[in-house]
Amino acid sequence: MKTIEVLVVDDSAFMRKMISNILNADSRMRVVGIAPNGEEALAKVQSLKPDVITLDVEMPVMDGISTLKRLMSEHPIPVVMLSSLTSKGAEKTLQAISLGAVDFIEKPSGSISLDIQKIEKEIQSKVFAAANANVKPSAPRETLRKRPEITIRPQSVGTLDKVIVGIGTSTGGPRALQQVLTQIPKNFPAPIVVVQHMPPGFTKSLAERLNTLSDIQVKEAQNGERLENGVAYIAPGGYHLRVRKIGSTLAAHLDQDEPRSGHRPSVDTLFESLAEQNVCKVISVIMTGMGADGSKGLKLIKQKHPSSISIAESERTSVVYGMPQAAFKTNLVDHVEDVDAISHSLVQQIEKVMRRSQ
């Protein structure tokens, strides 16, 4: 196996050394260069031709966002961002992912921190995964598919929704969610519940960002709230999201039970709760991400609801074809779609359900 060559870019000499030591401790990787700012990093990309770049968000001379824009337009390369856990840091990190960064690593306690050693395995695994990621510059919104139109029958207030959509994603997910949710029509007649693997603090910024770009409402889920049609609910980082029946409606339930396969929120946890709902049709969607989260939940949905519909993102558009591939290997996936076709597929499935119910 080829050794993965990494360029480490950070304005802190301490952080450059710490990250370099962590990556060099993994026999699969080797740091071939360091840079204190984006301008120097761009010059070193030309000469070193690294496989992956770790890129700090906040830097002098040229910051991480400006550097990333240049990289994606001139030399598309897998990039893992380093971000501080602040609202500003979260917003810039999500902007970076929408521009083409593969993933991000949260700095535990600011730019200078010995706590970086606590996330040694995360740094190594994310950089390793990034080396094999499908990297493409972001597509302008106007080039995405036109929003599909859908006509819904009037429904009496208070009736239980007939369909619920569950979406699970991880690495590359914020960008994939942007491509899917921004193409869902405002009158979409089902609630959408979403698990995106992210730490606390980032999911709120993700929901707010997607809400400004989408015709449907996108929000961070709150415990006990009723699930409404045409609203996407994103599980808060650090909390499992389950769907439960309360009276005649479906509601969000949040808890901090043990992580599943290292994840909280977990796609499997969400999907398993959907499998328990016998009052509505379930449409499950698994998109880009490392690992296999969601596949166990998909099996349970199909076991309890054989007529449920499952969609997986294609290998061609997945940033990391881990979770969709694991779902595909269950032989329970009904439709494999490029990410820009998923919203259209969802509308088609909803229309079929509605036609049968008339």
pLDDT at 194 (0 to 100): 98
User: Please, what are the domains in the chain?
Assistant: 4-131 (3.40.50.2300), 145-357 (3.40.50.180)
pLDDT (0 to 100) of residue 124: 94
CB atoms inside a 10 Å sphere around CB 192: 26
Q: Which two tokens stand for residue 128?
A: 């390793």
Spatial separation of the C-alpha atoms in residues 101 and 223, rounded to whole Å: 31
Is the Cβ–Cβ distance between 59 and 9 less than 8 Å? yes
Which pLDDT score is estimated for 318? 96
Strands 240-246 and 231-234: unpaired
3-class DSSP state for residue 205?
helix
**Token pair of 49 as six digits:** 């031709």
Count of helices and strands (H, E) across the chain: 11, 14
The number of CA neighbours under 13 Å toward the Cβ of 220 is 18
Question: Which stretches of 1-42 are assigned E, i.e. beta strand?
Answer: 4-9, 29-35
Distance CA 87, CA 97 (A): 15
Amino acid 184: pLDDT: 94
Provide CB contacts within 8 A for 248, sequence distance 6+.
Answer: 158, 159, 160
Collapsed DSSP state (helix, strand, coil) of residue 320? coil
pLDDT recorded at residue 351:
82
Interhelix angle for 38-48 vs 64-74, to 10°?
30
Which residue's structure tokens are 């969610």?
A: 177
What is the rounded CA–CA span in Å between residue 209 and residue 211?
A: 5
| pLDDT for res 151 | 52
What whole-number distance in Å separates Cα of residue 238 and Cα of residue 263? Answer: 8
pLDDT value for 148: 55
Closest CA to 217 of 186, 247, 190: 186
The gap between the terminal CA atoms of the chain, to the nearest Å, is 57
Report the pLDDT value the prediction gives residue 160, as an integer from 0 to 100.
43
Residues with a catalytic annotation lie at 170, 197, 293
Q: Per-block average pLDDT, block size 10, for the chain (358 residues)?
A: 94 90 95 96 95 92 93 92 74 89 79 65 92 74 50 45 90 94 92 95 92 96 96 97 90 96 96 90 95 97 94 96 97 96 92 71
**What is the reported pTM?**
0.89
